[in-house]
Structure 1
């Protein structure tokens, strides 16, 4: 599928719900006892959910009449009653007739919605057609735990749901690639009835967040991290506070981080806060991308992937997908910042080298006790770069431009040589680095992912090697205090955190995205608060 284009959207709303032309935010209740469910529904109301889904199949003990009456009566929010059988990913293993009896009882007791599976929807809807309350709605759902079918196949499913007499269609698939979400977006746009569309898994996360952009009836947000009821679900708190979910509309521009992995990134925290502070109708989110070319071909609308940050392992391969590349980025051979122009053309930059090199220079100035120096404090220094990927290229190029003598150490010598030759430097393997100390007071810059969460006890070089360095920089910023930096401090070296590179390159990216000056104080404060 190529070129996801946006069309005018119809917003469908039921009676009695909060919000005006906005996708509803529903919190699943997965308590195993009635008291837990009651606590959870009150908590869902407090944190800003619009409605709750009561997952009856999670209850260990269940008295239908008493428990349903209590849950529906006590809920401060509209209720969806779901009693999901094991054959659709739920926990109910009992008799099917009894299960449907419970859903009919929920209707009689005043539930706002029930969720019933497509396989039994005809029988269920036929059984209630003569006594269905005016404001009561039936969600007919289909769950695919294997993949995401084509848009045509999903459209056929929705047509089957509509034929059962449902009020709302619910399509849940599994995203094997982030481009699978495009099928979900298209069906929400084109459906003739209110539709819920979700692609499960981390690659489907954008389908949950962008439901308001494509006219989804509702989407789901968990109460807490430990109360997630489906793969890829995020918390209501993150949706509302980190991603400004209530502000997303059909015209909202979509920015994000293209990488693999992306879950560690602090970029959404910075950019979403900045967008909100100046009233920009935009959202920034993680894009877990396996195939960069496929991603940009699929999401080609000017307001989707309007701008992207680019991280491991795509900084080099993404360059080949660009229409234009800034001369410096072309010389480096890696990009980390992509802007989509109004005509759809993709233009790429490299802001890594500016962010990292200026941070290292400031660290050296502090170390030397100099308020300012003529020229760069890197001039003449031996500068050892660990890694020859996109970030390694940026650091090697930036250091060479400042007059440093560059050494590239990489797991494979051929890649180290390729980069070293470009910057007039020397190449080593990482194993050779242990015995490499031709002089003291060298500078070390790690651009590998060694030491990143969850592998926080790893380090790219042994501690005893660090005694030969006066300053150590680590591009890893999750955690902020990596093992490499802790070891460096203990050997007496000055350190520069990866957060400095992250913040400084983000200044440049924000300006490239928006043509506005970056809110530098805000970015620093946010990173400090969420270190």
Structure 2
């Protein structure tokens, strides 16, 4: 579905204005000229500024005829790249013919061409004395790592010395902290004039995703967004639509504050989509990103600027992140895990919070009250119940703490018994090895809460407990929300138990996260309306797309995040 159905992006046509000059380039890797022409047209319609024509992707290529065809009546500026295999491309032919084609593109009026550093001096020698309007990008790609700041600076100088109109460096992120070095070069290239020409600095791979978005904040000349998900010209490229509608890239500027989800994995999370729309709806100059983090301490040290102001924390970092905080909310300290970290603007200190337990316990209590025909008393319906928590990680601790506070008798089941025992001792409960859970039924009407990733996409056929054992539980909760209905919940429902999905927890915990990030009260009704709308989207995308009466305006938002 077109993201415009749910999300809006400011543009010149609807009264918006760009806050940065970063161009969005859509690469086409089409194997035929006809498909490339279609891609160029689609890029124009979607909102790209430039299209990169990857000539090395063509099955057949007649330079004179094909370049003329592409350049005639082009709706957008075109960047011609003819990438050889030795620089990560597909071309494996005669080098002179390759460079001849790029020279011909210049003669025919190409807007940009890309030449590799290794052959740049040779290329410029061949056009010396000639005048072209074409801007020449001289590029260097490192598919192994990201060099030191010093080495990157030297590389910029080498590329600039060739006579490049634009410097492009693409490296590979082995860790998300590698991207910080590219940002340093990007900022220095403007503030200290390290680079006297426009600079493109991108870091490839999932850990480098933030470079492709925040380059608009830090002054990068150009970033790439694919026309189709998965059809990329370099590892880690987002889609053009995500850049425009999810990350609102054209509204990012030097003052934009950065938020994100710290975790491993993070790609399945709905958080960026939901928080970014929430920020947009109330006019907050912020962007929320996927942050694929291996070591939270290293990440928080590398991104210590007050530009990086708030983080959700997901598996497996909730306990580790607590140790990185300068101050921890008393409840989070009791739980031993945080799911939200804020950088205090006055002194830059990191403050940790836990909103998981409120969201989860409230959802479970509501499920029990519904089972009791809506009866409501001052005493929690969890009081006196046997509450089995699967998992002893950060989310498990939050659930165990919350259930104990409500008067439940808590049992921790974990793959590693020693971890279950450790948590049980802290909260005053009992411990069980996960392997023994199927035979555990001291009484009926127990409560079960899964806080592990067992059953999460893509391993949707997995479940932490056998179906036969579920008959002893009156309510089953699963913190997973991808998929919304896990195998555990399906089998629990078939066994007659009340089920509570992860979405209910996410709604509850999201309120606290939103308020921590913004200082504003959470728009609870709007959050729930978006969740309900999301269900409709999944069930009937086509009819919604063509029904203007149910198109959502940008003021409706939600913020969820995964455990």
TM over 0.5: yes
**CA deviation map 1:170-204 (0-9, x unaligned):** 00000000000011111111122211111100000
Instruction: Give the alignment's TM-score, normalised by structure 2.
Output: 0.89
* TM-superposition CA deviations, 1:52-72 (whole Å, max 9, x none): 000000000111111011111
Q: Deviations over 1:479-500 (max 9, x none)?
A: 1111111111111111111011
- The equivalent position to 1:201 in structure 2, one of 194, 198, 205, is 205
Query: Hey, what does 1:213 align to over in structure 2?
Result: 217
Q: CA deviation at 1:523?
A: 2.6
Moved over 6 A (4+): none
Residues 379-413 of structure 1, C-alpha deviation per residue, up to 9 Å, x if partnerless? 11110000000000000000000000101000011
Q: Which of 425, 430, 453 matches 1:421?
A: 425
Equivalent residue, structure 2, for 1:157: 155
Match of residue 443 from structure 2? 439
8 A contact 2:173–2:207 mirrored in 1: yes
SS across alignment from 1:26: strand
Which residue number in structure 2 is paired with residue 65 of structure 1? 64
- 1:324 to 2:322 alignment: no
Structure 1 length normalisation: TM-score? 0.95
- CA deviations 1:277-326 (Å, max 9, x no partner) are 0110000111110011110111000112x000011111001111110000
The CA distance in 1 between the partners of 2:75 and 2:230, in whole Å, is 22
Aligned to 2:111: 112
Q: RMSD of the alignment, in Å?
A: 1.2
Distance 1:119 1:157 in 2: 12
What is the 5 A alignment of 1:474-485? 474-485=478-489
Report what 2:339 is aligned to: 336
Q: Is the 8 A contact 1:332 1:393 kept in 2?
A: yes
- Match of 1:422, SS state, is helix
Which of 224, 228, 234 aligns to 1:224? It is 228
Over 3 Å counting, the alpha-carbon distance change for 1:298 and 1:20 in structure 2 is: closer
- Of 226-235 and 460-469, deviating more is 226-235
Which structure carries more relative contact order (alpha carbon 8 Å, separation 6+)? 2
Q: Secondary structure at the match of 2:334?
A: helix
Comparing 190-199 with 428-437, greater Cα deviation is found at: 190-199
Q: Which residue does the alignment assign to 1:186?
A: 184
For residues 525 and 161 of structure 1, the distance between their equivalents in structure 2, rounded to whole angstroms, comes to 52
- Tell me the residue number matched to 1:124: 123
Residue deviations 1:456-504 (CA, integer Å, cap 9, x gap): 1111111111111111000111111111111111111111110111121
Task: Find the aligned partners of 2:58 and 2:105 in 1 and give their Cα distance.
Answer: 15
Partner of 1:374: 378
Aligned partners of 1:44, 1:458: CA distance in 2, in Å?
40
Instruction: Determine whether 1:402 maps to 2:410.
Output: no
**Cα separation, 1, equivalents of 2:144 and 2:403:** 48
> Contact 2:55 / 2:82 at 8 angstroms: preserved in 1?
yes
Question: Is the aligned partner of 1:258 residue 2:262?
Answer: yes
Deviations 1:22-51 (A, max 9, x none): 210000011100110001110011111111
| Distance of 1:129 and 1:356 partners within structure 2 | 68
Contact 1:269 1:526 in 2 (8 A): no
Deviations 1:117-175 (A, max 9, x none): 00011111222232232x32000000000011011101111100110000100000000
Distance across 2 between alignment mates of 1:49 and 1:525: 32
Aligned to 1:93: 92
One of 217, 236, 239 as aligned partner of 1:235: 239
Equivalent in the alignment of 2:290: 286
- Match for 1:166 among 164, 171, 174? 164
CA gap 1:19/1:75 in 2 versus in 1, 3 angstroms: farther
Aligned in 2, Cα 1:362/1:19: closer, same or farther, shift over 3 Å? closer
**Does the 8 Å contact 2:20/2:217 carry over to 1?**
no
Distance 1:127 1:349 in 2: 61
SS of structure 2 residue aligned to 1:211: helix
- Mapped pair 1:457 → 2:461: yes
Q: What SS does the corresponding residue of 1:293 show, helix, strand or coil? A: helix
Q: SS of the counterpart of 2:201?
A: strand
Q: What residue in structure 1 maps to residue 134 of structure 2?
A: 136
Do 1:274 and 1:519's aligned partners in 2 also have CA atoms closer than 8 Å? no
Q: Does 1:83 align with 2:82?
A: yes
